[in-house]
Amino acid sequence: MTGPERREQLIDVGRKLFADKGFEGTSVEEIAASAKVSKPVVYEHFGGKEGLYAVVVDREIGSLLGAVTTALTATDTGPRDLLEGAALALLDYIDSSTDGFRILVRDSPPGQATGSFASLLSDTASQVEHLVVSEFHSRKLDAKAAPMYAQMLVGMVAMTGQWWLESRKRRGFSREQVAAHLVNLAWNGLAHAEPKPTLRTRPKK
């Protein structure tokens, strides 16, 4: 193999092992053995397990964020259609890149502040925020709460995606069905949002 070909092979091998065993459960020895190379080859290309993991995660983050960004920046479409597109983008990614999604939703290794699923959700919520602000203004709701609602929407989609990852075969829901139910809750809930919501079970403050 050429150097670039070997690097891609190691990335593919590492991606599979990290998805199956996680960062802590995967060793350089396993990576080298699966790729049928010596340990020094892994160190030569990535400096160690951490370097390989960072490359794998960066690629998955880029792939998923790119798909969601494309869906959220589509032109000539309304907010509900954008929400549908973003939900489908995430579910499409889960369906086509299951190993990648498993890696993203696992805990990041110690010392890695960026490139985590949490940072990805934060980036996505920032993109969703302007849509929520627009809807809040049109419905005469307090736009100061929009960032919080953006986090809620993204969190809801992400958690549902994790649930679907593990139960899609057993439950039998297609990605289109899951996306439709997500949008049903998110959109219809927003359509009937109260201007000043309060809890019914506790005294107002």
Q: What is the pLDDT along the chain (205 residues), one digit of tens a residue?
A: 899 999 999 999 999 999 999 999 999 999 999 999 999 999 999 999 999 999 999 999 889 888 888 888 877 778 888 888 888 999 999 999 999 999 988 765 555 555 567 777 888 888 888 878 888 888 788 889 889 988 888 889 888 988 998 888 777 888 899 999 988 888 888 777 777 877 777 655 5
Q: What is the spatial distance between Cα 40 and Cα 10, in angstroms, rounded to a whole number?
A: 12
Q: With 0.85 as the threshold, say if the pTM is over it.
A: no
DSSP labels, 147-182: HHHHHHHHHHHHHHHHHHHHHHHHH---HHHHHHHH
Q: What is the spatial distance between Cα 139 and Cα 161, in angstroms, rounded to a whole number?
A: 29
Q: What is the spatial distance between Cα 146 and Cα 193, in angstroms, rounded to a whole number?
A: 12
Confidence at residue 109, expressed as pLDDT on a 0 to 100 scale: 58
DSSP labels, 1-66: --HHHHHHHHHHHHHHHHHHHTTTT--HHHHHHHHTS-HHHHHHHHSSHHHHHHHHHHHHHHHHHH
Q: What is the spatial distance between Cα 95 and Cα 179, in angstroms, rounded to a whole number?
A: 13
Beta carbons within 8 Å of 176's beta carbon, 6+ residues apart: 88
Q: Which two tokens stand for residue 181?
A: 């139910």
Dihedral angle at the C-alpha atoms of 118, 122, 124, 127, nearest 10 degrees? 180
Q: Are 179 and 91 in contact (CB under 8 A)?
A: yes
